[in-house]
Amino acid sequence: MNLPFTLDADTVWYAIGDGSLDKSAHKLDDYPRIIILVDENTHHHCLPVLHKLVPGLENCDVILVSSGEKNKNIAQSSYIWNELTRLKAGRDHLLLNLGGGVITDSGGFAAATFKRGMRFLNIPTTLLGMVDAAIGGKTGVDFHDFKNQVGLFVDPVGVIIEPLFLKTLDQLQWQSGFSEVLKYALIMDKDLWGKVQGKHFSEIEDWGTIITKASRDKIDIVRFDAAERGVRKNLNFGHTVGHALESYFLRTHNETTHGMAIAAGMICEAWISAKIFEFDAAHLVEIVTMIDKNFERFTFDESKIPLIIELMHQDKKMRGNKLLFSLLRRLGKATHDVEVSPHLIEDSLRYYFKGEV
């Protein structure tokens, strides 16, 4: 992959691109001890790569947890706290999260709450982690199957985006990460849209440029609005409906990916956007066609709508009893805190299930 290396020194440092692990490894010398968190897949595929590139990490203790969204819960946090206690981890030690969004979300949460705050470093190993989850300091776990119900904003010390890790990622996970790439294109980056539009994710050759642009989009937004008081909310486009669908699938024990749920959420929320902001019907067709080209639709029927709406009411974007959405004003421009009536939300789900209302 051709992804030129850059290293930004800021409150949070970001090393991005080919060789970033090698070139930023000296930053790990700041910590007296490093403990590595992995799931069974990153243990198998990514830990050997990490050891090869940074041999000094070979003797570090490793905490191994089970992979998957169904394990991103407080029981897993408790297990990590137990392990940190058993290993006599201290506040001045560093937890190195090596994995996808589940590992960086739950590892960040466990570290930030252990002894009132142990530092952590994110090394994302999925496309989704590289362009989104590892960046921006949102940490947490699901609770009673509600997405990210417990957690806190706390930054990692740094993020290393080393594309070498993607070599072992399967197609389902590439697809999942691609949904967040589409999100940046739709909410803020028409240039990125131009690079991906009309393509199936498997046809993309220049992932280096795509990852650089998408991760930079996220970094720019979180630097500007870390606490999510304004523009950062735009990143939630597709996520109000999407998170409700993810919660629904957690309950029904149907495996899905975060990206598939968000892709469905983006179809519904693009439809709501077009209704509210009356944007050109051709743009809605362009957006939906692109998502459909990359993601199969879930099959649903009318009977599931009430539960999905109920799950939406656990959304963190609620104000009082009202659901607030981040929507598209047009392709490439988003806005936030838009109140949407329950009827319109239901109709957007019908549009998704039936292709019409």
Ligand X SMILES: NC(=O)c1ccc[n+]([C@@H]2O[C@H](COP(=O)([O-])OP(=O)(O)OC[C@H]3O[C@@H](n4cnc5c(N)ncnc54)[C@H](O)[C@@H]3O)[C@@H](O)[C@H]2O)c1
> Interface with ligand X by CB under 6 A: which residues?
39, 41-42, 45-46, 67-69, 72, 99-103, 105, 125-126, 128-129, 132-133, 136, 138, 148, 165, 168-169, 173, 176, 257-258
Amino acid found at 247? S
Share of the chain residues as helix, strand and coil, in percent rounded to the nearest 5: 55, 20, 25
Which CB atom, from 24 or from 176, has the smaller least distance to ligand X?
176
Q: Is 355 left (phi over 0), alpha (psi -120 to 50) or beta?
A: left
The enclosing H or E element of 110 equals helix 101-113
Residue nearest to ligand X (CB): 101
Q: Least distance to ligand X from the beta carbon of 315, Å? A: 13
Contact between 272 and 331 under an 8 Å Cβ cutoff? The reply is no
Contact between 283 and 271 under an 8 Å Cβ cutoff? The reply is no
Q: Which pair of tokens denotes residue 25?
A: 């490894």
The Cα–Cα gap between 194 and 65 comes to: 39
Q: Least distance to ligand X from the beta carbon of 82, Å? A: 21
Q: Least distance to ligand X from the beta carbon of 269, Å? A: 16
Which CB atom, from 169 or from 264, has the smaller least distance to ligand X?
169
Which CB atom, from 65 or from 338, has the smaller least distance to ligand X?
65
Which CB atom, from 128 or from 276, has the smaller least distance to ligand X?
128
Q: Least distance to ligand X from the beta carbon of 197, Å? A: 22
Which CB atom, from 38 or from 331, has the smaller least distance to ligand X?
38
Q: Least distance to ligand X from the beta carbon of 102, Å? A: 3
Which CB atom, from 178 or from 351, has the smaller least distance to ligand X?
178
3-state class (DSSP) for residue 312: helix
- Long-range CB pairs of 147-152 (<8 Å, 24+ gap) are 147/243, 147/246, 147/247, 147/314, 148/105, 148/243, 148/316, 149/314, 150/74, 150/109, 151/105, 151/109, 152/109, 152/112, 152/113
Q: Which pair of tokens denotes residue 161?
A: 């985006």
Which CB atom, from 137 or from 340, has the smaller least distance to ligand X?
137
The Cα–Cα gap between 352 and 284 comes to: 13
Residue corresponding to tokens 């029904």 = 252
Contact between 108 and 154 under an 8 Å Cβ cutoff? The reply is yes
Which CB atom, from 39 or from 269, has the smaller least distance to ligand X?
39
Q: Least distance to ligand X from the beta carbon of 104, Å? A: 7
Q: Least distance to ligand X from the beta carbon of 356, Å? A: 30
Q: Least distance to ligand X from the beta carbon of 347, Å? A: 26
Q: Is 88 left (phi over 0), alpha (psi -120 to 50) or beta?
A: left
Which CB atom, from 219 or from 284, has the smaller least distance to ligand X?
219
Report the Cα–Cα distance between both ends of the chain, in Å, rounded: 44
Q: Least distance to ligand X from the beta carbon of 99, Å? A: 5
